[in-house]
Amino acid sequence: MWKPPERIRFSPQPGPWPTREEAQRAALFQPIQLGPTRLNERTWVPAMVPWRATEGGFVTDDVVAWYRRFAQGQPGAIVVEATGVRDVASGPLLRIGDDRYLDGLKRLVEAVREASGGRTRLFIQLIDFLAIRRRPEREKYFRRYLSITPEHRARLGLVDATEATVRNCLLELHSNQLAEVLTVRELDDLNSGFRERVTDVHEQHIADLPQVLPEIFARAAHRAELAGFDGVELHYAHAYTMASFLSALNTRQDGYGGVCEQRIRLPLEVYQAVRAALGPTLAVGCRFLTEDCIAGGSDIDGTIYFAAQFAREGMDFLSLSRGGKFEDAKRPREGAAAYPYTGPSGYECMPQYLSDKFGPFGRNIEPTARIRGAIRATGLATPVVVAGGIHGFQQAEQILTAGKADIVGFARQALADPDWFTKVREGYGAAVRVCEYTNYCEGLDQKHKQVTCQLWDREAREETGVALSKDGRRRLVAPRWNRPHDTDGGSQ
């Protein structure tokens, strides 16, 4: 993963923890209404992909255990990982593109309700993504994948040569020479692997996305309702289909690209279709980016426009992230696929303890505050979720009391200690296992390995009933926390 050149080392500073009485009065632990859905407190576990589903996208016992463990900490809401709306192969990621997934998803919902005592609301994040391929071997790319064009022949001075001769010549060229022969897209396919873009409108299935995606998302959302979820979060963030429509890099000329008003058309049409497919008891919102954090991408001004439109349209909540794009991702090794969190924009999404002078804790707070302020200026009160390096009670509480957000998300911190919420609420904050932001978990995610936290994954592995990773080296969920026996709760 890319790191800022300054490489200043930061340590988490959670600050003082509240007593039980102070926590009870805190804004963080007050209820909030998200449309028809009421959260018991303003804490939120954002979607994280744990790589525990089957290759066919089904819920497994390990998936259920992952979400049950977060639910035992009783946060206000948990968002289930990015779940594919299309019934296409996607490896061990959850899917919801067919009715055959319903039984597993129902089991997941029931487990969360039981483990949280009904206190935690459960949302599911719905995602669409386009095709991506692994970086090919150089010889295989030139022998099999590259389509030889008249332009290649002209640039090589081999207009009348056989195709085999042209391919052999390309194989012998150095990188700087290839840059004079291949297109930018062909070079990218060679160096990073083939990847579809929403601007590939010469491909009919890409051109047709605005016509087919609203109904696909709507059917997926209806399945979420049947499974018993409390709400749906539409994934409009990072490197995936819907975020790519919102991005300023979207130059489609069919009314779904170019200016902001056209780039937001499909996201709004998807939301409208989803809302129409659901009953009145489910909340619907989206997760999107404060900034793309790439050259030529969307900036805060564009996002303010999008946020206001989402709010006017009636979304029940807006959850904000930043960065995480393919355009600046690190070049993968041959045989691996590009990962959108390895470049500078990926760092903005998941900053770690080696940082620049700003540091890794709360880089998205001020952009989120600007967006929330713009929404409030329109007279709307749509709840806004902020996340990104937040780990202490004091910081979270100040965000809320200063009006910078309405709900605080804890992703890596919740992974480090799923009991953060109960511990802090009951006055045992000093017992919190604080995330060190080494991004050990992100490294596992990048390799498509089962995600765990280094603060607990080697602890008590020999205990009866502890599920281990496929290599047998790591426990898959955090150990249970045993409350102290005092009856008054913690202090300090």
Judged against a pLDDT cut of 60, whether residue 487 lies above it is answered with no
* 52 and 154 belong to one structural domain: no
For 351, the domain range is 8-133+198-446
* 186 and 286 belong to one structural domain: no
* 227 and 240 belong to one structural domain: yes
More confident residue, 106 or 484: 106
* 101 and 120 belong to one structural domain: yes
In a domain, 460, yes or no: no
Give me the pLDDT at residue 124, please: 98
* 322 and 365 belong to one structural domain: yes
Q: Could you give the number of structural domains in the chain? A: 2
In a domain, 383, yes or no: yes
Judged against a pLDDT cut of 50, whether residue 103 lies above it is answered with yes
The Cα–Cα gap between 80 and 47 comes to: 5
Domain edge (last residue) among 192, 212, 237: 192
Which pLDDT tens digit goes with each residue over 122-175?
999 999 999 999 999 999 999 999 999 999 999 999 999 999 999 999 999 999
CATH of the domain at 231: 3.20.20.70
- Average confidence (pLDDT) over 289-313: 97
* 305 and 168 belong to one structural domain: no
Strand partners, 287: 235, 319
* 184 and 126 belong to one structural domain: no
* 161 and 278 belong to one structural domain: no
Judged against a pLDDT cut of 80, whether residue 183 lies above it is answered with yes
* 25 and 146 belong to one structural domain: no
pLDDT band at 486 (very low <50, low <70, confident <90, very high): low
* 150 and 98 belong to one structural domain: no
- Average confidence (pLDDT) over 276-288: 98
> Residue type for 382, please?
T
Judged against a pLDDT cut of 80, whether residue 38 lies above it is answered with yes
In a domain, 484, yes or no: no
Judged against a pLDDT cut of 90, whether residue 396 lies above it is answered with yes
Judged against a pLDDT cut of 80, whether residue 485 lies above it is answered with no
Judged against a pLDDT cut of 80, whether residue 491 lies above it is answered with no
In a domain, 78, yes or no: yes
Judged against a pLDDT cut of 90, whether residue 88 lies above it is answered with no
The Cα–Cα gap between 53 and 124 comes to: 15
* 384 and 255 belong to one structural domain: yes
* 383 and 271 belong to one structural domain: yes
Which pLDDT tens digit goes with each residue over 215-231?
999 999 999 999 999 99
The Cα–Cα gap between 370 and 376 comes to: 10
Which pLDDT tens digit goes with each residue over 325-358?
999 999 999 999 999 999 999 999 999 999 999 9
In a domain, 453, yes or no: no
In a domain, 466, yes or no: no
Judged against a pLDDT cut of 60, whether residue 489 lies above it is answered with no
- Please, what is the average pLDDT of the chain? 96
pLDDT band at 484 (very low <50, low <70, confident <90, very high): confident
CB neighbours of residue 212 within 10 Å = 12
Give me the pLDDT at residue 490, please: 58
In a domain, 487, yes or no: no
In a domain, 83, yes or no: yes
